[in-house]
Each structure stands twice: as C-alpha cells, then as structure tokens.
Chain A
Amino acid sequence: MNKPLRRIAIFCGLLVLALLLRDNYVQYVQSDSLRSDPHNRRVAIERYATPRGDIVVDGTPITGYAKSKKNGINDFVYKRTYKDGAMWAPVTGYASQAFDASQLEKLDDGILTGNDDRLFFRNTLDMITGKPKQGGNVVTTLNAAAQKAAYQGLLSRGKGAVAAIDPQTGAILALASTPSYDPSTFAGNTNTDAKAWNKLQKKNDPDDPMLNRALRETYPPGSTFKVVTAAAALENGLYTTADQHTSTPLPYFLKDTRTELKNEGNIPCKNATMRVALRFSCNTVFGKIGTDLGKDKMQAEAEKFGFNSEQLTPVRSNASVFPKSMDPAQTALSSIGQFETAATPLQMAMVASAVANNGTLMKPYMVDKLQAPSLDVISQTDPEKLSQPLSEANAQILQSMMETVVKEGTGTKAQIPGVTVGGKTGTAQHGVANSEKPYAWFISYAKLPDGSSPVAVAVVVEDGSANRGDISGGGLAAPIARDVMKAVIDSKK
C-alpha cells in the first residue's frame, strides 16, 4: 500500500502548493489593486485616519478637519470641513466619509492623507521620531477675491459659470459654478449626510447643483466663438487687417441653400470690416468667413485653441466640441458658435487668454504646488505652453478688435477705468427650434498700461428667469466679467 500512499502525499503537497501560489497571487501580485480599490473601505478609513491636509488659496486654507462624532462603531476618526464650501466646491470637489471624494480632494488624496509615496521617507522619519502622521497641503493658483466676485455675480443671476485664467501662465484664478453645493453637508457618514447627498443628486434636484459647470458643462458659445473665426481668417490670410472691407452681401444666404442667415436687429453688416462686424456681432460676416475658409481650416484653428480635447487642470474638463463633418452651410453656423459647436467656460477663457497673451495659449492649471506636512514643496507646477493659435501680429490685430467691442460696441459694461479691456459678447440660442431661453456669454481680458495682461475670463449665465429680450451677453455676463477682472487687478496692487 505504500506506493499509493506516497502519491497521496504528493497530491496533498500539491494542494498546499496550490494554496501557496494563490496566496502569492492575491497578496503579492494583486495586492496593490485590492488595497487601493475604492470600494475597499480601508481606503476611506485610511483617508480619515489622520488630520487631512488643506487645500490652500492665497496662503489661507479653504478647508479644515474636525473629529468625527463618536457614534460607537464609526471607524473614521476625522471629518473634512470647508470654509465657504459652496463657493469653492468647483475647485475642491468633496471628500465624504460615505460618498468617496472628487476633483482635487480625490486627485491629490495621497498628499492630503499623507499616504503618497513621495511622502514615504518623511513618514518613516516621523514614525521614528514619534511625530503623529499628518497630511500635506495642496496649494492652488486661485485668487480668493476673483472667486468671490465670480460667485457673488453668478448668485445674483441664477445659473451659470465663470472661469478666469492668468493668460501669461495658464494659472486658473477663478472657477465658479451656480447653483453650487456645500460639501460640508455630506462630509460625514450619518443619516443627515446621506439625506443631504441625496437631495443634491440630479434626479432630486433638476438644477443639478453638483455639476461643475465651469469645467464639465458644454454650452453653445454663440457669438463669442466669432473671436476664433476672426483668428482663423487672419491666420489663413483671408483678411490681413481689421479694417479691410469684407465682401459680405446683405441679406446673406447660407451657401447652397435658400436660408437667410440673419443678424440681430438692423446693424451695419453689409461689406463690414471685421472690426465693425465684431463690434456689432454680425452673423453674416463671420458665417461667410467660415464658409469661405472651409470646415478643415476652421477646425484646425479651433483645435489649436483647445477644442475637441479634454484639459487636465489636473481636474478634468470636458472636451469642447467643434464639429468634424459639416457642409458649407453648417460650417457657417458653426463659425458663429451655433450648430453643434459647444464649449466649456474654461475653453472660452482659454480663447480670450490666448489672444491676450499675444497668441500663445498656456496650459490651464489650478495646482501651484504640493506641500509636505512640514510645508516643504514636493512638486511645483511650471507653466507650460499648449499651442500657438495665432501669431503675435495677428493676436494684436484681434486685440484691437476686441477692445473696440468694449469701448464702443456690445460690451461697454465691461469697461474698467484706467485699464484696457477687450471682450466679446455672445447670446447663444439652444433648444429645439431655439425655443429655450438663450445663454448669455461674455469673454474678455484686461490689459494693464505696461502691456501685460493679468487676467482673461469667460462668463456664461443660463438665466431661465430673465425675459428673452433682456438676455444678452453684454447685459448679464459682462458686469460679472468686469468684477472678476477688477478683483484680480486690485489684488495685484
């Protein structure tokens, strides 16, 4: 009987070997993915085990932490708190014991909890010296005064969003969205938190307060897109100056159709120069430019400005859309920011910033640096050039056109005494047969006497309550843009 006994011994050995191999697979090969699986509650326990680091604006934390309420078996020790949570929510996102985290809170979780690999050495030192573990800080590029101006301005107008950028670096200065939410209300994991969370979900609140409109909502940009079309005309040599007469008939019929492309009101658009056309916002002139250039050239220029690609700031923004397959008539409509063209507020702020920065588009970013708990800098974001949508000379031509708009055109409400402001209004129709209330847009930049431009901004107001005639970028959105620009300039003094 000994031969089969030996075989059984080998068989039992193989059973143990199989277990050993499986154990190595689970605890070594798969270990990292299991450990960091967001459903694994240990991730959240770890996240709230130490005082969470802060998100910092202008040297002041806009977040904090508190000891969780002890309700017996709560395994989370600390809870996130926010100062002016609703105002900053589009920047911070949320960190909730019950509902995970989003945006900066999620992306820089490792730094904020102190578990990031880059902190490993310091943590080990701290462990040896007996210092309690702490989270690092995320220092943002935002400007508190600009953010406040943007948020207050939007609050008085209902729904909308603002994005402001420093054109020279791409640093994001303001990022506001209304209606907003206060992430403090569901930072814990009690029933109250769950109720607050549920109330904010889109299915329970049609206004969708948790949507970050500045980064994640794409709106038809309307007439503000004419800046891109003008840039395309200059770059492709269709027109070489702002004051050259365009051969635009009035009425203008969309190519190969019997549909007339109309202007808003009785404005002097026949054979208007680009400067005049931008000042009065002539659909006919820019529609024709789009058709004359063709969809490929238009698309190439739009993509140089950042259309059709996501931006990682590092918080992801949705890709803005410039349609790829169109007939000449649709190209005309797309070139005045209608048809399928859609842009995020961040995208339109990038357009204004590229013009303001003499044609160079900088990559937008909102994290200046990451700090260890000791405030040592772990990583610093360096400004990075994204593209060159137009030459310096053409950018200056476009600047002079946009400055005319603010000086004596549709954007007079954005004027700031002592500062040169260039801008463009937009009133974008949407809905089936344009039945819904249009969106009011304004994009602009400010230029100081020394020629430098500290801020470019895009404002969109989706004002469902205003009456239709009142909605215009110049009336609703421009004052908000002016306040934001003014706040940035004042804070630099």
Chain B
Amino acid sequence: MSSSTNTPTHHTSTIGSIGTPSRRNTELALLVFAVVIPVFAYANVGLAIDDQVPAGLLSYGLGLGLLAGVAHLAVRKFAPYADPLLLPLATLLNGLGLVIIWRLDQSKLLQSIKQAGSAAPRQLMYTALAIALFIGVLFFLKDHRVLQRYTYISMVGALVLLLLPLVPGLGADLTYGAKIWISVAGFSIQPGEFAKIVLAIFFAGYLMVKRDALALASRRFMGLYLPRGRDLGPIIVVWAISILILVFETDLGTSLLFFGMFVIMLYVATERTSWIVFGLLMSAAGAVGVASFEPHVQTRVKAWLDPMHEYLLSQAGVQDGVIHSEQAMQALWAFGSGGTLGTGLGQGHSELIRFAANSDFILATFGEELGLAGVMAILVLYGLIVERGIRTALAARDPFGKLLAVGLSGAFALQVFVVAGGVMGLIPLTGMTMPFLASGGSSVIANWALIAILIRISDTARRPAPAPAPSPDAEMTQVVRP
C-alpha cells in the first residue's frame, strides 16, 4: 500500500510518491462487501424470527448502500488519496450493528421493559447524520493542521464536554451508576464520545509545542529519564481530571480512556519510556485509590471477580445501598451459549441481558448468535481500523498529524478493549459503548467524525508531493547522451 509498490512512470523520476494510486476503486469494491454482508445478515435475522424476508430489507439495503455510496463519493472528491480500508471497515461494523439492533428490537422482552422496539430506525437516522458530519469534516477540513490553531480552545471545549453531565438539571442518570449522559431537548447525549476527539486535538497541539522540553530536560536516574517537576505539570493535571471523572461521574472507562490516550501521545511525542512508567504508576495509584472508597467502582470490581455471586445477589433482591447487577453473568452466559459457531442470527436469547442489551452489551449478542468465529472477526475488524490509523500516523509527514492520528487510533483501541474486555469479563465493566456497533447517536456520530479525521490525515500523508517547480537551471544540467 505504500508508494514503493508503485512502478515509477519513467526511469528518470526521483520522486517516488508521484503517481501514488489513489486506491479509490479498492475502497469501492470493499464497500460493496461492507454493504452486502449486513444486508444478508438482515435477511437472515428476518428468516430466523418470522420465517420471512423482512419487509424493510430493500429500504435498509438501499439506505445503507446510499450512505456508503455518498460517503465514498465524498472521499473520492475531497480526500482522493485516503486510506482505502477505513471507510469500508466502519461501514461494515455500522451495518452489522444496525442488523443486531433491529434483531433486538424484535424481542418482546426488551420491548416490554422499553429497552428496544424502535432503536433501529433511530440508529439509521443517527447513521445518516453521522455520514453527513463525516462529509462535512472532509469538506470543511481541507488540511488537518488547521486544527492546531484551536489547541487551547479544544482544551476548554473538552473540559466543558466532560463536566456537562455534572451540571444539575442537565445530567441524566440513564445507566446504572455512571453519570456520563446529558439530556437536551429530549435527546440523550454522551459528551464523553465527543470529548475523546477534542481532547486528542488539544493533546496533539500541546505536545507538539512542548515535546522537546518534555523529552530533553530531564535527569537520568536508575536507567530512566526523570522529567523535571514543572514538566510533570500537564501529566498531573490530566491525571487529576481523569480521577475526578472517576469520582464524580463514577465512570471507570472514560477516565481510563483519557489518561491512556494522553500517555500514548506523550510517549510518541517525547520517545521517552519513562513517561509510560509514570503513566502506569499513576493510573494504578488512581484506580486503587478510587476503588477503595467508591462503592460503585467496588461493585463493578466485585462483579468482575465473581459475577455469579453478584448475579445471585441481584436475583435475591439484596438491598445494601449498591445496585447488584446480573448483567456481567448474563453476558458471560450469552457468550458461552454461543460457543464456537453461535446459534445463528435471531436464534439466541441475549435479550436476557435486558438492560443496555443493544448498547453496552451488544457484543454479547454477536457472541451468542455468531459465536466465537463471529466475535473474532469483529475484533479483527476493530484491530484493522486501529492499525490503519497507526499506519496513517506513521505515514503522516507532520508531527501534529502523527500525534493526532495515533491519539485517535489509540483512544479507539482502548475503547474497544475496555468495552469488549468488560463485556467478556476480562476487566471490570464500564459504561462505554462499542464504537459503530452499539445503539446510540453520540457514539456513532463521534466515531464517524473520528474516521473522517483519520481519512483526512491519511489523504494528506499519501497525497503526492506537488510536482517540483521547473528549475531555471534545467537546461544546463541536461544529461548529454551520445
């Protein structure tokens, strides 16, 4: 995929990147698969549940195809040299997510507890909005370096977004425990999803300016470069903010995400391993400290260590001040019951998860109905998005672009790890959603914006350098051939 695979058009060329293929046709071919696979999955669900091809199949297929097509045309027009994998990968995940959301909409149990019923049409509308935003980003953001100008505005913006759920009257306690939602004009918004992107912009801009100071002014101690006290400032501030999120919004996932993203970007900017050591120490200290006095976090940890016990407590209706949730165990049962190949779409019982079955826990439905094989495929799709993002960072020619790309990809990877790991019982559960798969407008809109920025950076990175200006000395250095 790099420019070196391309044969130069004529042998005297010295600039390799001239003539880099745009790969737009590859993207289009992949997009066909990314649309056709979910359409088949959709038909499959309908046949399994009602023994007939769902009535909405045509409109769903056309809708998804149209959205993918428009997005593709926008990329072709505004970012012709962009990475060809990102758009198809995101479309495929988004399409499969829609199918599973629709599948859970059919569950009478979830309808009766108002957890599903009309989530799929809403999600399709959010997807359309997200694609519009995606195109908007590509259209208005002609060069990602423009974002560098908004470094400090981004900081303020991110802080506001993060603190919004704490504003009285605005914050909505929709999920058990975690206060990461706000409610505006009847819509529930998860500002954390947007803060992820805005913070990445701030970190990238800030670190680009300060990286030399952070990297070079240090003392060597036991093989580690210890940063100066005043340089430690920013890391302490970010650490403190993530701890505050953890304490006041009781959201383990968001704080881990932000802190992790910052450490990754700091490490890339300074190339100093010592920052990683500090980061790990501080996150460990923060996590242990908070976990020791925050009952919500403690319950999550207990449910992780012994989900069965927590399930039995919830069934027995034990009232001891904290909410005992059966979800962790229900999710494990869903995964286990799926086994290697799954029950087949529409034939599982993941509605037993009840609360957030189609958002935070949507991966469990994939696990039950598509089995180990399906979940591994999904995880590999996520892995590909992340690696294409980091590939973009490697190819980017400017440090800001590198930092922004790796920050966004790293945050995306952490989010996938935290959510999937939580649902599968690898780490304690947190209140975040699977990007693209889960039902929820904020998540799908923010993640499409994230992909748009990565596409913009990769377009800049792979765009051929402008042809060298004709040199006035050209005549004199002409090769003389006999």
Contact = CB atoms under 8 A, between A and B. Distances in A.
B264 interface: yes
B394 A6 contact: yes
B339 interface: yes
A11 B329 CA distance: 29
A238 interface: no
A4 B268 contact: yes
B332 interface: yes
A70 to B, nearest CB: 10
Interface stretch (B12-20, B126-134, B294-302, B412-420): B412-420
B231 interface: no
A18 to B, nearest CB: 7
Given A1-B402, A75-B109, A8 B339 contact: no
B417 to A, nearest CB: 4
Contacts of A27: 335-336, 338-340, 367, 371-372, 375
B426 interface: yes
A121 interface: no
Contacts of A1: 268-269, 271, 399, 402-403
B393 interface: yes
Nearest to B333: A40
Interface string A32-69: 11110101111001000000000000000000000000
Given A8-B406, A26-B336, A27-B336, A18 B426 contact: yes
B376 interface: yes
Nearest to A12: B413
Contact of A8 (B267, B332, B367): B267
B409 A12 contact: yes
B286 interface: no
Interface stretch (B163-171, B174-182, B383-391): B383-391
B417 A42 contact: no
B376 A12 contact: no
Contacts of A23: 335, 367, 372, 375-376, 379, 424
B70 interface: no
Given A1-B271, A22-B425, A27-B371, A12 B337 contact: no
Contacts of A416: none
- The main secondary structure of chain A at its interface with chain B is helix
B424 A4 contact: no
Contacts of B425: 22, 26
Contact of B410 (A8, A18, A72): A8
Contacts of B424: 19, 22-23, 26
Contacts of A4: 267-268, 271
A6 B352 CA distance: 42
Contact of B337 (A9, A19, A28, A40): A40
Given A18-B421, A22-B421, A33 B409 contact: no
Contacts of B409: 12
A33 B112 CA distance: 30
Contacts, number: 139
A213 to B, nearest CB: 30
Contacts of A18: 417, 421, 426
- The main secondary structure of chain B at its interface with chain A is helix
A419 interface: no
Interface in B366-382: 367, 371-372, 375-376, 379-380, 382
B336 A12 contact: no
A233 B306 CA distance: 57
Interface string A119-137: 0000000000000000000
Given A4-B268, A31-B339, A12 B372 contact: no
Contacts of B382: 16
Contact of A28 (B329, B372, B403): B372
Given A1-B269, A8-B264, A72 B108 contact: yes
A36 to B, nearest CB: 9
A434 interface: no
A20 B381 CA distance: 12
Contacts of A9: 387, 390-391, 394
B311 interface: yes
Contacts of A24: 372, 376
A30 interface: yes
A73 interface: yes
A31 B391 CA distance: 36
A37 B406 CA distance: 43
A34 B337 contact: yes
A35 B339 CA distance: 8
Contacts of B311: 39
Interface string B308-343: 100110000000000000000100110111111000
A12 B383 CA distance: 8
A5 B335 contact: no
A15 interface: yes
A5 B393 contact: yes
B145 interface: no
Contacts of A26: 332, 335-336, 367, 424-425
B349 interface: yes
A33 B308 CA distance: 13
B336 A41 contact: no
A493 interface: no
Nearest to A39: B311
A31 B375 CA distance: 14
A13 interface: yes
16 contacts: A1-B269, A4-B267, A5-B268, A5-B394, A9-B391, A15-B413, A19-B379, A19-B417, A22-B425, A26-B425, A28-B340, A32-B336, A35-B339, A37-B336, A41-B352, A75-B109
Interface of A: 1-9, 11-13, 15-16, 18-20, 22-24, 26-28, 30-35, 37, 39-42, 45, 72-73, 75
Interface of B: 108-109, 112, 264, 267-269, 271, 308, 311-312, 329, 332-333, 335-340, 349, 352, 367, 371-372, 375-376, 379-380, 382-383, 386-387, 390-391, 393-394, 399, 402-403, 406, 409-410, 413-414, 416-417, 420-421, 424-426
Given A12-B387, A26-B367, A35-B339, 8 more contacts: A9-B391, A16-B382, A19-B416, A27-B372, A27-B375, A28-B372, A34-B333, A41-B349
